[in-house]
Structure 1
Amino acid sequence: MAGIDLSLKEMMAIDGALGAAVVDYSSGMALGTLGGSKELDLAVASAGNTEVVRGKMRTIEQLNLKEGIDDILITLTRQYHIIMPLTGRKGGGLFLYLALDRERANLALARHRLKAVEEAIAV
């Protein structure tokens, strides 16, 4: 089991990582962040992506789907943004957020490594 700080370091070790956060989507607050820049304010990204997660969960409920979200991918011109809700008992309304540089990242490998972080995190 890994704590938030170690999980953030593992996320930032993924090729192309620009910024990482563990976010509580009930409040929109980041429990921890690492990386980021003037162009990538992780506090703003955490709050904004909370709305994405809430909206998708609401839609799943309205459609009466018996599904969970594995991850949400947002593709920008120069970046990938991956949102991965934590599952199981440890999830408790949290999600992982990872921003990647499209030129340096391998999306399939990043998603695979992020899933490993999600499975190991203990909050």
Structure 2
Amino acid sequence: MNIETALKEAMSIDGAIGIALVDYESGMSLGALGGGHGLDLELAAAGNTEVVRSKMRTLASLDMNDTIEDILITLGKQYHLIRPLTNTQGNLFLYLALDRSRSNLALARHGLRNIETALEV
């Protein structure tokens, strides 16, 4: 599945507000859909690169031989899911923002995992 199709598929997840595919080395978004009032996806994507970089450094410092499956940030009205991609050559992650009142976190995580598996960059 290409980037555009993957982003469209992610936006079909119940409660999806916005989705971005981000390079955490540069902080640049390779593609984004959704967002709008209350969620600047470009700014959020760039900011979340710091979250991913920090967690990667922490794992390295702890000499943990493991990978990050996903990172969840729970806000009062939203969930923010960050899923580093393991099936690509780049340093990429999917960033999905969800309306907490309209989403099912378990189904969203499952959907994002399926998108990651099918995504070809």
TM category, shorter: over 0.9
Counterpart of 2:11 in structure 1: which amino acid? M
1:1-123 map, 5 Å = 2-88=1-87, 90-123=88-121
The list of structure 1 runs, each at least 4 consecutive aligned residues, that deviate by more than 4 angstroms after superposition, is: none
Question: What's the TM-score, normalizing by structure 1?
Answer: 0.97
- How far did 1:91 drift? 4.5
**Identity among equivalent pairs (%):** 62
Instruction: Return the TM-score normalized by structure 2.
Output: 0.98
Segments of 5+ residues of structure 2 without an aligned counterpart are none
> How many equivalent pairs are there?
121
Confirm or deny: 8 A CA contact 1:85 1:91 kept in the other structure.
no
Task: Say what the alpha-carbon RMSD is for the aligned residues.
Answer: 0.6
Q: Which whole-Å deviations, capped at 9, do the CAs of 1:51-109 have from their partners, x for residues lacking one?
A: 00000000000000001000000000000000000003x14100000000000000000
Q: Which runs of 5+ in 1 are unaligned?
A: none
Equivalent residue letter for 2:106: A
